[in-house]
Amino acid sequence: MARSPKKTLEEKIIAKQELIESLLKRIESEKKELEAMNNEKKLKDLQVVGDLISDAGLSPQEAEEALKNYVAGRTAEAS
């Protein structure tokens, strides 16, 4: 079997640069996909909180005040 001719150093450098560029594009694509998934998760979490507030019959302002009081109480207990 005949062996293919060896690549020159310049060809190896070019091939490595192309590989790196390809990987960088892939990383950017994966980052965008991850960001979209994180945004979707945040939206679902907010939907759950919104439903809980609605089910409790609270306004957003009332829910905010209740959470502030709860956090302040927990902070005081931890001290």
Ordered by start, the domain boundaries in the chain are: 9-78
Provide the pLDDT confidence category of residue 3 given band limits of 50, 70 and 90. Answer: low
Q: What pLDDT score was predicted for residue 1?
A: 52
Query: What values do phi and psi take at 15, rounded to 5?
Result: -65, -40
pLDDT in tens, 43-79: 999 999 999 999 999 999 999 999 999 999 988 888 8
pLDDT reading at 2 higher than 90: no
Kindly report the CA angle at 41 between 39 and 45, in degrees rounded to 5?
115
Query: What values do phi and psi take at 3, rounded to 5?
Result: -90, 145
Cα-Cα-Cα-Cα dihedral sign, residues 35, 36, 39, 41: negative
Share of the chain above pLDDT 90, in %: 84
Q: Which two tokens stand for residue 59?
A: 């306004």
**63 Cβ contact list (under 8 Å, min separation 6):** 53, 56
